[in-house]
Chain A
Amino acid sequence: MRLGSGAFAASCVAIEVIGVAIFIRGFFPAPVRSSAGPEHGVETPAPEPMAGASSNWTKLPSPLFNKVVIVLIDALRDDFVFGSKGVKYMPYTTYLVEKGASHSFVAEAKPPTVTMPRIKALMTGSVPGFVDVIRNLNSPVLLEDNVIRQGKAAGKRMIFYGDETWLKLFPKHFVEYDGTTSFFVSDYIEVDNNVTRHLDKVLQRGDWDVLILHYLGLDHIGHISGPNSPLIGHKLSEMDSILMKIHTSLLSKERETLSPSLLVVCGDHGMSETGSHGASSTEEVSTPLILISSAFERKPGDVRHPKHVQQTDLAATLAIGLGVPIPKDSVGSLLFPVIEGRPMREQLRFLHLNTLQLSKLLQENIPSYEKDPGFEQFKMAERLHGNWVKLHLEENHSDILLGLGTKVLRQYLGALKTLSLSLSTQVAHYDIYSMAVGTVVVLEVLILFLLSTPHVLCRKAELDVPLLSPVFSLLFYMIFLVLSAIHVLVCTSSESSCYLCSLPWLAAGGVMVLVSVLLCAILSALIRMVIDGTLLKKRAAHPGSGWSEVDLLLLLGTVGHVLSLGASSFVEEEHQTWYFLVNTLCLALSQETCRSYFVGDDCEPQHYFQVEEQGCSDILASTLLDSTSYNTPEPVRTGKGASLSEAQGSCKWWTVLASPWLVLICCRLLRSLNQTGVQGAHRPDLSHWLTSSDHKVQLSGLAALSLIVIFMLVQKGCSPVSKAALALGLLGVFCYRAAIGIVLFPWQSDNKVISKGIIEARFVYVFVLGILFTGTKDLLKAQVIATDYKTRTIGLWEIHSGLVLLAALLLRPHNLPVLAFSLLIQTVMTKFIWKPLRHDAAEITVMHYWFGQAFFYFQGNSNNIATIDISAGFVGLDTYLEVPATFLTVFGTYVGPVLWASHLMHFLSSEASNGPALSRACFCYALIGSVPVATYIVLVTSLRYHLFIWSVFSPKLLYEGMHLLITAALCAVFTATDQTRHTRA
């Protein structure tokens, strides 16, 4: 079967996407779980241990608190309460923390620090898996055992107001609820008022046991303007007054019922210095946890400093406080200060229940649990506890009893700590089988790519893909049979759950077919290479390898970048790698321009690659013509030289010499716009300065200037209609930003009503769709009516400009200069470097890829989940719609690579003389996109027990997977465009 190299590359990348998907599914492990599902009904609680006889205290202890109020403030960082901000803005809470009847802790949240996994952690006490980040936006029902479920089973009346994520997690658990949606990040007043408006009524009624309030405003403020914004102070004061209201009301109720109630104040995650969250920096994982109850009374002078605990500890504590069983999957340990005031027998009983639950979980998850120090400690403590109970029942109220009790207590606490630690750090099992299958698919595709590289780069852009013959060969059936046998063997023998085995047989069989087909294809490609070996040798004998410095740099830079992915710091600071490489590329280009202008007679070698290639095709042609002697490409070369000097004449020499330096200066400016990565994220940068509320005027000016520059750069290639559409669209972008209150019109005062900007954004969408439609129409017209290639070029440029308009809408205003500079660099490079210097399609593709990557980071992205700008997904949407929101967020994140790829497409098709350039470029793009993914998968597999696997390598894996998906989509578009050309021809 003959395939164009573009189509070949696109299908290969599509297969690679499947491989990566299988790998990722196997890589993210299932978290520690109890095997007994929550459906098992009510189990009888464990009785109190007693030496010799069984204790009579078999029921669960009665609840410690009559009423529990949980106030969850989203993104409440520990220093907002315990630090200087707390003293300034939360006086009542600070008083309670320092002098009142309360216990305060700093609870450490485990990454990913995103709301839904954190709610799960708080209520189940388990550590949710990393995959929960992806499911964050459509939270399914929580199936694991949790406090809410237990509370409902125990007949508690629970009320919830706040983030509607809870209602999705716990449907039908609350007797009364009102959910607020968190998708309008720019609204931070109404979300909280919607919670508070119910408060007075509910507090007065008092016909409930548990009240949960989830306030979102603080998180929204963080997303909008960061932790140092003045809005934070206002919000904290508001929260303080709410807490005061709840607390006083609880105290007055207590006087009537005479039983204590509990007020829990906590945050689900913190907030980084940029106001975002999701990663594992100290600011993001440290949250305050304050338990306020009259039961915790303290003497004056009793200073209680906030202790560091785990966020998962709250579930067990709440369960004990409410008198319900501890959730089965909880890995947390009871917060001991809460029960410190109770009688010794109760204290020991609570600790026993908690330790027993943890040791059961340990037994189910670790085969060699008996050797675990925590388990041994637990057995010892249980025995001592039994003795103590016996003594106690013998009415022996002596000092010995107290001494022994304290000893048991200490033993239990030690056991709890060790058990909790060993459970939460236990690395869940990777699904090695799925990972291996995924890796095999990806590596096979990569090998196929590499094998066909010399063919594509040096000869025609068409490949003879040996697809049909292997499918009917004996080898294929044998491999398929062997693989199926292995599959059955693995699935029947393995005990741990495996994704591939849980697939239906047909799908698993399909994967096996894929693996064996790829293997056969590789084998036949290898055989063909050996047969063609003589030809290759002849080519190798061709004098002078045609590698210029730029080629060498492109190759070594790509290889170096791929290798650097093995080090966690290089993954964290990947932007530095790309900036460095792009700068070096500019210097190399500047050297090339210098040489071709100052040393006039020596201008050929740098174009040798292209010339060489011409030579190759000449060789092929001559071999096809059966002539043994081939012409040296001298005539071609002289022709090139002439055209080169012609091109030199057309643009002034100094502009050509200055252009690499202009690009360098642009890159330097962009670099200081957004500080990204881990080490540099906290450094001051221009974007912080621009987004602070004092500099709204400057931001508006910069945004307007950037939009004008964008218009100037884009309009020249468009048809008049789309020119007008573009102008109106860009105006609409500014109006949208003005409507949501980020930028100002010159005639506008600062305090304007802020809307969601739905109309303005949709106005822009109309133009985006219109321009894209016109572009597609032009492309189709170019296909149907065989006009010259100009229509197609215009069509491609219109698609490019439509994408630019969409990007202008989605990018935040301070990032608009990134877009403007990107277009400027594209124009400059096209006009003064690529065209005059006549680079080869492969070189241009790699350069576009590099610039695309650099712009991904210039925009402020990093290999960290927290830097994704989810607000892009809600531009112009009234309610949360999953598909458009996901699409917009992905496009907003990958603006750089996508725009550079679309520019590449336009540039190559405008160079009509280069015959198969586009499909060759598609092949190169697919190759250069898939090499890092394939290598990274192998690296991650070998580093899966690395300390930073969850915080650094896993997010990067998700980014790589997403990038590959986008590469696949781009390659498909490339091929489709190329097909239109072929059919026309």
Chain B
Amino acid sequence: MKDTDIKRLLYSNLLCIFSVFLSIFIPSLFLDNFSILETHLTWLCTCSASVTGVNLLLHLVVKPNVSSRRSSLSHKVTRVLKCCIYFLLSCFFLHIIFVLYGAPLIELVLETFLFAVILSTFTTIPCLCLLGPNLKAWLRVFSRNGVTSIWENSLQITTISSFIGAWLGAFPIPLDWERPWQVWPISCTLGATFGYVAGLVSSPLWIYWNRKQLTYKSN
């Protein structure tokens, strides 16, 4: 593991953070009265789109997992299709979990679903980009001592921090402050976003501090 690797990780993470900020400022150029709180659903869509875009771009340009095997076009197409299906499945899965956590079943379905979409954008898409539609690899990365590179380490940290952010985001909902951001699911989506950004910032730093202790099996 070299310092250049960590530097590359840092830059790509900064790019991801940039994409989140982009989704806040770009739509206001095209849309009147755009704001995160009032037109929350629009923001969710743009944020999800821009984060997905940047992740795909990074995947194509940086290619952290250099898979030496060249594969045929049809193989690639099935791979992409599989990724799409995985993404959709994860959205539905998260939606079900939110309902089990107490989100309304019939009302606010669109809001809940878009929250599921943005949370899986923060978690599933980086996984798909880095590991591909390979459940075994996912399980390996998210089990103890299973990471094999700093990229996977960073992925682990950002995914877990996004989930924790969304989880913590639910706490202000019952408070009686009567703020606009306490409405379901705004505080949770904001929490997830903060968690994601915090994970992106902290993972290179954490890896840098612990670079002496970290040893990866295959590297």
Binding site for B on A (CB under 8 A): 567-570, 572-573, 576, 579-580, 583-584, 587, 594-595, 598-599, 602, 605, 664-665, 667-668, 671-672, 677, 679
Q: Which of A576, A668, A671 contacts B174 (CB 8 A)?
A: A576
Least Cβ distance of A745 to chain B in Å? 33
With A580-B101, A668-B102 given, is the CB distance from A567 to B175 under 8 Å?
Answer: yes
Interface centre among B100, B146, B167 (most CB of A within 10 A): B100
Least Cβ distance of B71 to chain A in Å? 26
Q: Which of B99, B102, B105, B143 contacts A602 (CB 8 A)?
A: B143
Nearest CB in chain B to that of A606: its residue: B144
Q: For A599, what are the chain B residues with a Cβ–Cβ distance below 8 Å?
A: 139-140, 143, 146
B32 at the interface (CB under 8 A from A): no
Task: Indicate with 1 or 0, residue by residue over B7-42, a CB within 8 angstroms of chain A CB atoms.
Answer: 000000000000000000000000000000000000
Q: Which of B143, B170, B173, B175 contacts A595 (CB 8 A)?
A: B143
Q: Secondary structure at chain B's binding surface: helix, strand, loop or mixed? A: loop
Q: Which of B140, B144, B173 contacts A605 (CB 8 A)?
A: B144
Nearest CB in chain A to that of B97: its residue: A587
State which residues 137-172 of B face A: CB under 8 Å: 139-140, 143-144, 146, 167, 170
With A599-B139, A605-B144 given, is the CB distance from A583 to B100 under 8 Å?
Answer: yes
Task: Indicate with 1 or 0, residue by residue over B90-125, a CB within 8 angstroms of chain A CB atoms.
Answer: 000000010111100100000000000000000000
Nearest CB in chain B to that of A586: its residue: B100
With A668-B99, A668-B102 given, is the CB distance from A580 to B170 under 8 Å?
Answer: yes
Q: Do B100 and A576 touch across chains, with their CB atoms under 8 A apart?
A: no
Q: For B105, what are the chain A residues with a Cβ–Cβ distance below 8 Å?
A: 672
Q: For A570, what are the chain B residues with a Cβ–Cβ distance below 8 Å?
A: 174-175
Bound Cα distance A567, B101 (Å): 22
Bound Cα distance A177, B176 (Å): 48
Bound Cα distance A567, B170 (Å): 15
Q: For B102, what are the chain A residues with a Cβ–Cβ distance below 8 Å?
A: 576, 579-580, 583, 668, 671
Q: For B175, what are the chain A residues with a Cβ–Cβ distance below 8 Å?
A: 567, 569-570
Q: Do B100 and A664 touch across chains, with their CB atoms under 8 A apart?
A: yes
In order of increasing CB-CB distance, the 5 nearest A-B pairs are A573-B174, A569-B175, A569-B176, A664-B100, A668-B100
Bound Cα distance A572, B174 (Å): 9
Kindly list 14 other residue pairs between chains A and B, CB separation below 8 angstroms, not including A583-B100, A668-B99: A569-B176, A572-B176, A573-B174, A576-B173, A579-B102, A580-B170, A583-B101, A583-B102, A584-B167, A594-B139, A595-B139, A595-B143, A605-B144, A664-B100
Least Cβ distance of A863 to chain B in Å? 12
Nearest CB in chain A to that of B143: its residue: A599
Bound Cα distance A598, B141 (Å): 13
Bound Cα distance A569, B170 (Å): 14
| 23 A-B pairs in the complex with CB atoms less than 8 angstroms apart | A569-B174, A569-B176, A570-B174, A573-B174, A576-B102, A576-B173, A576-B174, A579-B102, A580-B101, A580-B102, A583-B101, A583-B102, A595-B139, A598-B139, A599-B143, A602-B143, A602-B144, A664-B100, A668-B99, A668-B100, A668-B102, A677-B174, A679-B176
Bound Cα distance A275, B27 (Å): 50
Kindly state the interface size class of chain B when it binds its partner: 10 to 19
Least Cβ distance of B191 to chain A in Å? 13
Q: For A667, what are the chain B residues with a Cβ–Cβ distance below 8 Å?
A: 100
Q: For A665, what are the chain B residues with a Cβ–Cβ distance below 8 Å?
A: 100
Least Cβ distance of A673 to chain B in Å? 13
Bound Cα distance A677, B176 (Å): 12
Nearest CB in chain A to that of B99: its residue: A668
Bound Cα distance A672, B105 (Å): 10
Bound Cα distance A572, B102 (Å): 17
State which residues 166-188 of B face A: CB under 8 Å: 167, 170, 173-176
Bound Cα distance A31, B65 (Å): 74
Bound Cα distance A595, B142 (Å): 9
Bound Cα distance A677, B105 (Å): 19
Bound Cα distance A598, B136 (Å): 9
Bound Cα distance A664, B93 (Å): 14
Bound Cα distance A583, B101 (Å): 6
Bound Cα distance A189, B170 (Å): 48
Nearest CB in chain A to that of B177: its residue: A569
Nearest CB in chain B to that of A665: its residue: B100
Nearest CB in chain B to that of A575: its residue: B174
Q: For B100, what are the chain A residues with a Cβ–Cβ distance below 8 Å?
A: 583, 664-665, 667-668
Least Cβ distance of B157 to chain A in Å? 15
Q: For A671, what are the chain B residues with a Cβ–Cβ distance below 8 Å?
A: 102
Q: For B97, what are the chain A residues with a Cβ–Cβ distance below 8 Å?
A: 587
Nearest CB in chain B to that of A661: its residue: B100
Least Cβ distance of A559 to chain B in Å? 14
Q: For B146, what are the chain A residues with a Cβ–Cβ distance below 8 Å?
A: 599
Bound Cα distance A169, B44 (Å): 63
Q: For A584, what are the chain B residues with a Cβ–Cβ distance below 8 Å?
A: 167
Least Cβ distance of A658 to chain B in Å? 13
Least Cβ distance of A667 to chain B in Å? 7
Nearest CB in chain A to that of B139: its residue: A598
Q: For A668, what are the chain B residues with a Cβ–Cβ distance below 8 Å?
A: 99-100, 102
Bound Cα distance A448, B175 (Å): 34
Bound Cα distance A104, B172 (Å): 42
Q: For A672, what are the chain B residues with a Cβ–Cβ distance below 8 Å?
A: 105
Q: Do A679 and B143 touch across chains, with their CB atoms under 8 A apart?
A: no
Bound Cα distance A233, B43 (Å): 50
Task: Indicate with 1 or 0, residue by residue over B168-212, a CB within 8 angstroms of chain A CB atoms.
Answer: 001001111000000000000000000000000000000000000
Q: For A605, what are the chain B residues with a Cβ–Cβ distance below 8 Å?
A: 144
Nearest CB in chain A to that of B163: its residue: A587
Bound Cα distance A573, B105 (Å): 20
Least Cβ distance of B131 to chain A in Å? 15
Q: For A677, what are the chain B residues with a Cβ–Cβ distance below 8 Å?
A: 174
Bound Cα distance A835, B105 (Å): 33
Q: For A579, what are the chain B residues with a Cβ–Cβ distance below 8 Å?
A: 101-102
Bound Cα distance A584, B167 (Å): 9
Nearest CB in chain B to that of A584: its residue: B167
Nearest CB in chain B to that of A577: its residue: B174
Nearest CB in chain A to that of B145: its residue: A602
Bound Cα distance A569, B177 (Å): 9
Interface centre among A570, A595, A665, A668 (most CB of B within 10 A): A668
Bound Cα distance A677, B174 (Å): 10
Q: For B139, what are the chain A residues with a Cβ–Cβ distance below 8 Å?
A: 594-595, 598-599
Bound Cα distance A568, B146 (Å): 44
Least Cβ distance of A925 to chain B in Å? 27
Least Cβ distance of B148 to chain A in Å? 15
Nearest CB in chain B to that of A664: its residue: B100
Interface centre among B140, B146, B174 (most CB of A within 10 A): B174
Bound Cα distance A667, B100 (Å): 8
Task: Indicate with 1 or 0, residue by residue over B75-89, a CB within 8 angstroms of chain A CB atoms.
Answer: 000000000000000
Least Cβ distance of B81 to chain A in Å? 24
Q: For B167, what are the chain A residues with a Cβ–Cβ distance below 8 Å?
A: 584
Q: Do A679 and B144 touch across chains, with their CB atoms under 8 A apart?
A: no
Nearest CB in chain A to that of B167: its residue: A584
Q: For A572, what are the chain B residues with a Cβ–Cβ distance below 8 Å?
A: 174, 176
